[in-house]
Structure 1
Amino acid sequence: MQYLRRLTLNLSVINKQFVRSVGIHSTVVNNKEKTTQLKSWREIPGPSTLPLIGQTLHFLPGGSLYKIDNLGLVDLLYERYGPIVKFEGSFGSPTLIFLFDPEASAHILRSENLMPIRTGFQSLDYFRKEYNKGRRETNEFSGLLTDQGETWKKFRSTVNPIMLQPKTIKLYKNSLNEVAEDMVKRMKLLRNDKNMLEAKFDKEMNLWALESIGVVALGGRINCLDRNLPENSPEKKLIHTIHQIFNVVDKLDFRPSLWRYIPTPGFKKAMKLYEDQVELSKFFIGKAIKQIKSKGKNSTEEKSVLEKLLEINEDVALIMASDMLFAGVDTAANTMTATLYLLAKNPEKQEKLREEIMSQNEKQPYLKACIKESMRMLPVVSGNLRQTTKEYDVLGYRIPKDMLVTFAHQFLSNREDQFPRSKEYIPERWITEKTDPVHHSNAHPFAFSPFGFGVRSCIGRRIAELEIETFLSKVIENFHVEWFGPDLKVKQTTINYIVGPFNFVFKDVK
């Protein structure tokens, strides 16, 4: 663990922008082929380096990559270096290998052992395992975000039956539907005379997301949609804390930082934010446990994730509930915002969706396709990171064990060679006939991976999909959603944030 704590993904621009590049027309070298043609990983192309500072010089004033925007940078890197790029470590951080090729990504992800190592969140890992160790209820688990190996396997095996069973998740449909209806009522009341929510929109989406994840994780309403909710309420404090954590993690874990050696101001701020998140989560979890005890064992109400896990393992239950509140707010809110934006910009698709919703089609294939297409174009996470558990022969190079490899899913899913008419919002590509040129089967299976892959894929996928499907259905049923002005903008920190101004107009459906 000392090694992991000292890992530094020290170039923000590298992790935030290079993770999005992509390669085409490449092959993976089979392990059974002659190895004499293989090159060392040290020969993988990439920007030139200097001792200690690595490739930082390229991003400084006068550097070849200084102030190049995201898309321009991606194109430039692919043109210069191709589908695999190496970034030398500096300031004690490890070397990173970026794969911009779907088949190469598939080769590694499919070949990893039964307990893949997903690194990242080093500061959170330090907080949970070292800084906060004496105050934790258990020292066996720290959570799915930070545990590895047998500890991770035991935790994941405990929560999988509850978190991933579609039939189990659908039991929360009614509760989520109530939240969605209340949120629509709130939106109608908050609109101004131009039918806009103005600067409040992102905050409102976060309140909806927290209320939604709360009914699943904790089994009851958190009270986020109360119009008289004060700014210093635990609900709004938790949302604000989560926002700050993602921004601070970006600066600590993905930029040059000395926090692993000395307690920098940023490190102290992060530890305080993590403490606040833990205490606020405890507040809501404590209230939920009191409600569980008060309703008795003979209650016919559907049990929350917390209640079900409490019957199996109390330590796992408390950590899982806290992580659901932590990870399930900004991700769902930004996905919802992206989907509404794309539907507003494509009114014919929105009308087609509205017709399906009004038809009461229980399967709602077009609704699911609309969300999926949104995740293809504007995913909330740019890529996935793995620490290899074995040696690989990839694209003519030998990648050793314990190397950090980043898989560039976002830009793969936006490539024309993977998804024809990739810049267009076409939900039909997910449900049309395979003979259609835009059908998703034209893409490599690993060109689209918004929830990750395999046993370390997102544990909250089923819940997130149900939340968004339920709310989006209610919004489109009640509003004609429009957008005016400049295109939406995305800011990339630890996740992809959609930033204002939010030029949505919500007109009543008559």
Structure 2
Amino acid sequence: MTLQKSVISLVNVNKIFTRSMSLSNVEEKGTDLKPWQEIPGPSSLPIIGQLHHFLPGGSLSNRNDFMTDFLYKKYGPIVRFDGRFGSPSIIILYDAEASSQILRGENLTAVRPGFFALKYYRTELNKQEGNPPDAPTGLITDHGDIWKKFRLSVNPILMQPQTIRLYRNSLTEVAEDMVKRMRRLRNDDNMIEGKFDIEMNLWALESIGVVALGGRLNCLDSNLPENSPAKKLINLVHEAFRLTDKLEFGISMWRYFATPTFKKAMKCYDDQRKINKYFIAKAREELEKKQKSPNDEKGVLEKLLDINEDVALIMANDMLFAGVDTTADTVTSILYYLATHPEKQSKLRKELTSKDEKQSYLKACIKESLRLKPVVIGNMRLTSKEYNILGYYIPKQMYVLFGHQAMSKMEHYYPRPTEFIPERWIVDKSDPLCHSNANPFAYSPFGFGVRTCIGQRIANLEIETFIETVIKNFEVEWFGPPPKIRVSTMNYTTGPFNFIFKDI
């Protein structure tokens, strides 16, 4: 998509947002319900909403926990967060039972808002390519019947355990190559030289590339040429998420005119799509050359190509957009918790070096890490009907954020909530620590219902093979204070990364 066309058509973006964000004027039902405008929350000003609270000296200035702990502690289980400069107002729920009302109520036609700039790019691209109005743009950006039809077409491929298990050996090879790279990068103190988060992103991109693009990208090759498609893809994947983050969480002036960040994002999305298309075409050529037995199980890309190349490209775009930073940050968190709990690390290593193929403790460590630090602070829905939530009237077309990160660390859901206790995912229900004693809607790292993350099985396999390989090779230690976390489109671990990797 040319940048000129993108800028010219930007005037249409407000139509998209007006349609999706306008609140219904439905009259309130029942005299005992308070209107949603009376839900407690930070004070608001015309036009700028609650922006003044984030300015120097404001109550939310420099508070990284404002969406997790702070708002809940100050205002309670339901909070009103007003929009600013065109952004919608949001209701935040910190109550699992109340969350379940909306999540269950919206499950059949679930609309999960977000990634509006990416949606805009993909919608305009479809128009320019002459695709019909009901052509899919992707699972990340579509909703309603278009999303449902597309999801049903790819579910049997990406949610099929037998298909995903095909990648265990390939992903283990990627993990082993990453461990070799980590050894090369260590200094005399056994610490990784350079930016550890960038290294984890390289591993995550190499891993998801095996699935989405049908083969190794060689991201871990230190001699990878700067002008190679793989090197360009490495830079574009990182840049796409960074620019999207700015557009989603920054002041939303791009919705009214083409800001410099918006222009960069449009070009970045376009360049990444072209490179993904190149790798898919290359993989298709390799598949056509390969002689396979009719009984051989096909991989993800091959099955997507059997539908058509457009479907394969859309899913590759989605997987590379949503499956790199998220998975990389998750393994960083798991390593941190294991490094700061050496007794848990030893217990895990004992399991991994045994003949226990279930690897229940490994899975428990992953779940516990995601409880303490999920990828995102919560899930979101756009309501399609009216609700009575905690005594307040919630109308149609209201954005509701479910504060799962805060809820999963509440004492009344999870005893000893701030402690890293993988055992809570293994013990039976008679144990007060048992996770199944908690309301299931307090914890939701991969979403809920029909919009459960379609890449969950892939992500878990990537994480399992990597953590297993690292723990078998290294005694992981940590020194100093915990790493800093920046809350935005996702929870970013920003360092410093004080890991020590000692050979076993």
TM-score (norm 1): 0.89
1:106 maps to what in 2? 100
Tell me: CA distance 1:77–1:7, structure 2 relative to 1, closer, same or farther (3 Å).
Answer: farther
2:7 maps to what in 1? none
The worse-fitting range, judged by mean Cα deviation, of 427-436 and 350-359 is 427-436
CA contact (8 A) 1:141 1:155 kept: yes
The worse-fitting range, judged by mean Cα deviation, of 222-231 and 462-471 is 222-231
The worse-fitting range, judged by mean Cα deviation, of 199-208 and 108-117 is 199-208
Which of these residues, 165, 171, 178, is aligned with residue 166 of structure 2?
171
Q: Does 1:395 align with 2:403?
A: no
The Cα shift of 1:295 comes to 1.3
CA contact (8 A) 1:37 1:396 kept: yes
The Cα shift of 1:245 comes to 2.2
2:450 maps to what in 1? 455
Q: Distance in 2 between matches of 1:505 and 1:77?
A: 36
Letter in 2 for 1:81: Y
Tell me: CA distance 1:375–1:142, structure 2 relative to 1, closer, same or farther (3 Å).
Answer: same
Tell me: CA distance 1:295–1:329, structure 2 relative to 1, closer, same or farther (3 Å).
Answer: same
The Cα shift of 1:227 comes to 2.9
1:285 maps to what in 2? 280
Tell me: CA distance 1:136–1:306, structure 2 relative to 1, closer, same or farther (3 Å).
Answer: farther
1:70 maps to what in 2? 64
Which whole-Å deviations, capped at 9, do the CAs of 1:68-108 have from their partners, x for residues lacking one?
x2347755433442111112333333221111111111110
Q: Does 1:479 align with 2:477?
A: no
The Cα shift of 1:42 comes to 2.1
Which whole-Å deviations, capped at 9, do the CAs of 1:406-452 have from their partners, x for residues lacking one?
11111111222221111111110100122222221232111110001
Letter in 1 for 2:17: R
1:5 maps to what in 2? 17
Which of these residues, 395, 400, 404, is aligned with residue 405 of structure 1?
400
Q: Distance in 2 between matches of 1:383 and 1:72?
A: 13
Q: Does 1:241 align with 2:236?
A: yes
Q: Percent identity?
A: 63
2:323 maps to what in 1? 328
2:215 maps to what in 1? 220
Q: Distance in 2 between matches of 1:451 and 1:395?
A: 25
The Cα shift of 1:109 comes to 0.1
CA contact (8 A) 1:96 1:406 kept: yes
1:206 maps to what in 2? 201
The worse-fitting range, judged by mean Cα deviation, of 495-504 and 141-150 is 495-504
Within-5 A mapping of 1:318-357: 318-357=313-352
Which whole-Å deviations, capped at 9, do the CAs of 1:136-190 have from their partners, x for residues lacking one?
8786110001111111011100111111122221122122122222222222233
Q: Does 1:506 align with 2:501?
A: yes
Which of these residues, 134, 139, 148, is aligned with residue 143 of structure 2?
148
Letter in 2 for 1:501: P
1:19 maps to what in 2? none
Within-5 A mapping of 1:352-363: 352-363=347-358
Q: Alpha carbon RMSD of aligned pairs, Å?
A: 2.2
CA contact (8 A) 2:163 2:299 kept: no
The Cα shift of 1:131 comes to 5.3
Q: Distance in 2 between matches of 1:408 and 1:124?
A: 24
1:16 maps to what in 2? none
Report the number of matched residues. Answer: 484
Q: Distance in 2 between matches of 1:76 and 1:215?
A: 41
Letter in 2 for 1:277: Q
Matched position secondary structure for 2:31: helix
Tell me: CA distance 1:76–1:498, structure 2 relative to 1, closer, same or farther (3 Å).
Answer: closer
TM-score (norm 2): 0.90
Which whole-Å deviations, capped at 9, do the CAs of 1:357-406 have from their partners, x for residues lacking one?
11121101000001111111111111111101111111001111111111
Which of these residues, 289, 307, 311, is aligned with residue 312 of structure 1?
307
1:442 maps to what in 2? 437
Q: Does 1:126 align with 2:111?
A: no
Tell me: CA distance 1:7–1:368, structure 2 relative to 1, closer, same or farther (3 Å).
Answer: farther
Tell me: CA distance 1:138–1:61, structure 2 relative to 1, closer, same or farther (3 Å).
Answer: same
Matched position secondary structure for 1:226: coil
Q: Distance in 2 between matches of 1:170 and 1:363?
A: 14
CA contact (8 A) 1:376 1:413 kept: yes
Q: Distance in 2 between matches of 1:200 and 1:55?
A: 35
Q: Distance in 2 between matches of 1:379 and 1:233?
A: 34
1:22 maps to what in 2? none
Letter in 2 for 1:413: S
Tell me: CA distance 1:203–1:367, structure 2 relative to 1, closer, same or farther (3 Å).
Answer: same
Unpaired runs of at least 5, structure 2: 1-12, 22-28
CA contact (8 A) 1:121 1:253 kept: yes
Unpaired runs of at least 5, structure 1: 10-33
CA contact (8 A) 1:414 1:422 kept: yes
2:153 maps to what in 1? 158
CA contact (8 A) 1:95 1:404 kept: yes
Tell me: CA distance 1:184–1:300, structure 2 relative to 1, closer, same or farther (3 Å).
Answer: farther
Q: Distance in 2 between matches of 1:496 and 1:478?
A: 28
Tell me: CA distance 1:300–1:484, structure 2 relative to 1, closer, same or farther (3 Å).
Answer: farther
CA contact (8 A) 1:258 1:264 kept: yes
CA contact (8 A) 2:86 2:252 kept: no
